[in-house]
Amino acid sequence: MKQAMILAAGLGTRLKPLTDTMPKALVPVGGVPLLDHNIRKLQSQGYGRFVINVHHFSQQIVDHVARQDYAPMVHISDETEHLLETGGALKKAAPLFDDETPILIHNVDILDNVDYDWFARQHEPDEDAVLLVSRRKTKRYLIFDNAMRLMGWTNVETGEVKSPYPWLRSLPSTAVEGQEGRFHLFAFSGIHSFSPRLFPLMERFPDRFSIIDFYLSVCHRSRIYGCIKDDLQVLDVGKLDALDKAEEFLSSFTI
């Protein structure tokens, strides 16, 4: 059974004043909460186990899930006391997952045109994580080698490079950009598939940390790859102005 983690613990500050009285997971698009949009889509593509982390107005999410027909498929990871960021959230939720199946990680305030049955098939059995990427223009990129194995991260505006490889860290981002035959820069979508095999490597990390910082610290000894989707469409509904576009987005994209 395919499994997913829906990251729903954020404060939703960009959606104020709506999130003064509700969590962003329950902000409606076309009369349907964002959480339901994501779970229903994943259900339709073969996912049957969900972990949802909660913090802001956490009881509202718990109560909402309890009223849904998908409730038996859901486990709640309670972050009411402290927000743990993307990596810390996954580490805390580790006991709630099946140990044998990759975990799809998805933000509750993201709508997209990804076929998640297809994406699950891109995660080969010997791979530890697969990161969905595109050629979108941005300031921050993940760095991959010719086999699309993760090598590092760069901010092309500041010139910063992060990598477990000292020789790569010593290069300015302009040099990384200029070696297209050796390195490939792609924008991360925030969507990824994580093998439970990686959980033991998280033990040395604090309670709160970023999943990208984790990947960058272990990519030299773990098999972490990028998966390119050139026609990727992603709408961040974590902003008020995006809510007006969300209904049209949902009705227009094709998978």
Q: Mean pLDDT for each consecutive 10-residue tract of the chain (255 residues)? A: 96 90 94 96 96 97 98 97 96 96 96 95 97 94 95 92 90 60 89 98 96 98 97 89 86 61
**What is the predicted pLDDT for the residue at 174?**
60
Structure tokens at 222: 């773990």
DSSP 136: -
Residue 162's contacts (CB-CB under 8 Å, 6 or more residues apart) are 152, 153, 154, 169, 216
**What is the predicted pLDDT for the residue at 9?**
96
How far apart (Å, rounded) are the C-alpha atoms in residues 139 and 207? 28
DSSP 134: E
Structure tokens at 95: 């006991």
How far apart (Å, rounded) are the C-alpha atoms in residues 87 and 199? 10
Which of helix, strand or coil describes residue 149? strand
Residues in the chain: 255
Which of helix, strand or coil describes residue 194? strand
**What is the predicted pLDDT for the residue at 36?**
97
Cα–Cα nearest to 74, from 21, 99, 125, 38: 38
Which of helix, strand or coil describes residue 254? coil
Phi, psi for residue 164 in degrees, rounded to 5: -75, -10
Cα–Cα nearest to 1, from 44, 59, 67, 47: 47
Torsion of CA 144, 147, 148, 150, to 10 degrees: -50
Which of helix, strand or coil describes residue 200? helix
Q: Specify the residue for token string 């994501």.
A: 38
